[in-house]
Structures are given as structure tokens and as C-alpha cells.
Amino acid sequence: MILTTNKKPIKVIFKIIEKMIIFLISFLLALTFLEIVLRISPANFPIGKPWQNSGYYTLDSNRIYRIKANQQTSKSAISDKDGFRFNPSHKKVGSNQQRIAMVGDSFTYGHGVLHHQTYPFFLEKKLNSLGYDIWVDNAGVPGYGPDQEFVYLKEEIIPKIRPDFIIWNLSLNDEFDSNEACLFRKHRDTYYQLSGRLNSLYFTQYYPPLLPKIIRESKLLSFLLSLFPERYTLGCTQNKKISGEEFAEKLNFLLNEVKVLLSSSNAQLLVTIIPDKHILSGAQEYEHRQNRKKILTATIQQADVPFFDFNTPVANFIFSCNQNGVNRVLGVAADNAASELFFEEKEFYSPHLNQLGNEVAAEVLSKEVEKLLN
């Protein structure tokens, strides 16, 4: 008896392989065609903002990114050994010297001004002129939100720097930053920390360098990466605008967690709301910012932590200098006095303080800090 082999299954397998090869070749040809089209196109697809690609920052798996220690990439981008903004006037910490860590975003860091024109710098200068022995660390990081600032406090500043005082500067933009750079997700009745690796800013800059050079340098990859939102944390960022109540609930949790962290140390906490041009101008079209400030104020007060709102004393300072419709200190019409403290910036919804604004902010803050020191 002669055995015969059924060749039909083999033919089916070869047919499947043939189709897979044709699909793969077609796919590669399509990618090649797209690459050629994109290279011919004048469009560019930069990944990340220029400041993120400056070399001054590095990725951080917990905080998404951070300032590198001992870096200088421009006159306004100089860091010290702790990754804080450089302060040339710092003197060696003595046994009686008290250390203040100021935490916040670009307003604290001093966007648009040099290191000796920020309000952490002016605060140190003012307090030392009054006879105190103070060292102020500028721990502001541009683009940070409350989630990142809390992680910074928990993992770096409180356990490693161990300051005597912490000034946590919050802004009216934090509602958005806390969503886009979300690191704490609510599950049932509490919040859980997520990895910074889940944020689009992290993985669009971390993974491409690991790819083969031919893929890494392709314009198609740049195009695909440009489709990702600048900041979006998987499993945490909401596609819709978060409500004021949702933000308030998370912020309340973070503030109470800081209180717990500080309970085992002698450090004191002061939470502030930074000056806001739109609030100080009193324009009706920015009434929604007044509502946002009310929510922020109520949340801080509910957490029962020492609180200071820059906007009221700054407004009082401006008003006290007004005379006959002119601000005698700033030399401008009284109605425009608040604008003289801020830059004219189109790229930011909330303009940053200029040098004069930082001096005024430090002046009013120094009076509040003196209460803590005494």
C-alpha cells in the first residue's frame, strides 16, 4: 500500500505566508512614501517646547521632568547643586541660619527675569536687611502643577533639604496643570500616585532615543509623536475640563498630606496665591478668575494651613501709591498701575511678574514671613 501526503494544508500555509509578505512590503512602501512626502513638505514637527529641549531639564520618572543640577544653558537658566535656581548671593549656611524653600511654577522660578530679579531673591535680600540670617531656595520649576510640586516636596525638599520654612506658591492656572500633569488619581475614597512615565511629555521624549537611528531620525516618527498632546497622563488626565470641585478635592488631599509629612519635623508651611494681573486689574471679563481664586482660597482655608494671598496686599500697595489719578511710585495712570508689574506676554494667559513686580511681591511677602520668624 502506497501512502499519499495531503499537500493541501502546506499550500494553505504558503498562501498565508505569501499574503503576509505582500502586506509587509505594501506597509513598508506606504511608510516610505509617507516619509518622502513629509521630507518634501516644508512643515516641521518639533517634539516638546524649546525650553524642554534646552538641556536645562531632564526627565524624571516621578515628577515627569525636573531641572538638572549644576547646569547653565543661558543667563536665565542656571541651577545650583540641588537643582534649584542659582542665587549668587547665597552665603554658607551657618548654625543659626534659617532656610526657606519656595516651591511653585514659573512665577516662583521667575520666567523672563534673571536670577537676581526673582521674588525669592528679593525676599532673602529684604529679610537679611532686617537683621535676620536667611537662606531662600528658589525651588520653582516652570510648568509644574500641584501634583508635581507635592511629589517634589515629598521626595526631595522635605527629606533631603530639610528647610525650616516651606512657602508653597499656588496659582490660578493650577487647576489646568493639575489635570494635564496629573500624578494622583482618585480611587474610591483616596488618591493614588501614578508614575510620571505615563505622561505624554515623558514618553514622547524618553522612548524615541532608544529606537534605531533610521527610525529615530525619520520625519514620520516626528509627525506621529507630534499628534500626542503636550501633557496627558494615561489613566489620570480628563479629556474634559475638570470642575472646580474636583480640583479642590484633590488639592485638599495634597495639602493635608504635606501637613502629615511636616508633622514629624519642625518645618513650618505657608501656602500662598501668587499675584494675578487679571485679578489686580479688576476687569469684568476676568470675573471667572475671581471665582477660581475663591475656590482656591476656600480649599486652602479648609485644609487649615497658614495662608497668604498676594493679591490683596499688592492691590493695597498700588492703591496707597495712587494720588490724583496717578501712581506716584510707578509714574503711570492709576488705572494702569497693576499692568506695570507684569510683562506683556501673548504666549501666556497669565502674564508673569517683571523685576518691579517681583520686588513688590517680595516686599509684601516679607511682612508675612516675619510673623513666622517671630
- Cβ neighbours, 10 Å, residue 217: 11
More confident call, 132 vs 3: 132
Q: In the predicted model, what is the mean pLDDT of residues 234-257?
A: 91
Residue 13 pLDDT: 81
Find the range with the poorest average confidence among 220-234, 278-292, 301-315.
278-292
Residue 208 pLDDT: 86
Percent above pLDDT 90 for the chain? 55
- The answer to whether 366 and 123 have CB atoms below 8 angstroms apart is yes
Q: In the predicted model, what is the mean pLDDT of residues 74-85?
A: 92
Q: Is the pLDDT score of 174 beyond 80?
A: yes
Find the range with the poorest average confidence among 77-86, 234-243, 279-288.
279-288
More confident call, 316 vs 69: 69
More confident call, 94 vs 106: 106
Gap between the Cα atoms of 327 and 348, Å rounded = 26
Residue 283 pLDDT: 67
One-letter amino acid for residue 90 of the chain: H
Average pLDDT, the chain: 87
Residue 88 pLDDT: 80
Going by pLDDT thresholds of 50, 70 and 90, the confidence category of residue 333 is low
Residue spans of alpha helices (H) in the chain:
8-40, 106-109, 119-129, 146-152, 174-180, 200-206, 213-216, 219-226, 244-262, 277-281, 287-302, 311-320, 355-373
Residue 244 pLDDT: 86
Residue 67 pLDDT: 95
Residue 105 pLDDT: 96
- The answer to whether 168 and 308 have CB atoms below 8 angstroms apart is no
Going by pLDDT thresholds of 50, 70 and 90, the confidence category of residue 325 is low
The CA-based diameter of the chain, rounded to the nearest angstrom, is 120
Q: Is the pLDDT score of 156 beyond 80?
A: yes
Residue 165 pLDDT: 96
Residue 273 pLDDT: 95
Residue 233 pLDDT: 94
Is 190 exposed, middle or buried (CB count within 10 Å of its CB: 0-12, 13-18, 19+)? exposed
More confident call, 45 vs 206: 206
Domains and CATH numbers, the chain: 71-195+235-373 (3.40.50.1110)
Residue 334 pLDDT: 57
pLDDT tens per residue, range 196-236? 999 999 988 888 888 898 888 888 888 888 888 889 999 99
Between vectors from CA 307 to CA 149 and to CA 315, what angle results, nearest 5°?
A: 105
- Cβ neighbours, 10 Å, residue 371: 10
Going by pLDDT thresholds of 50, 70 and 90, the confidence category of residue 140 is very high
Q: In the predicted model, what is the mean pLDDT of residues 86-103?
A: 83
Q: Is the pLDDT score of 328 beyond 70?
A: no
CA distances from 222 to 37, 202, 205, 278, 289 (A): 13, 15, 11, 37, 37
Highest average pLDDT, of 7-21, 232-246, 316-330, comes from 232-246
Close Cβ partners of 248 (under 8 Å, ≥ 6 residues apart): 295, 296, 298, 299
Residue 38 pLDDT: 84
What SS3 state is found at 208?
helix
Percent above pLDDT 70 for the chain? 88
Residue 164 pLDDT: 94
Q: In the predicted model, what is the mean pLDDT of residues 313-321?
A: 81
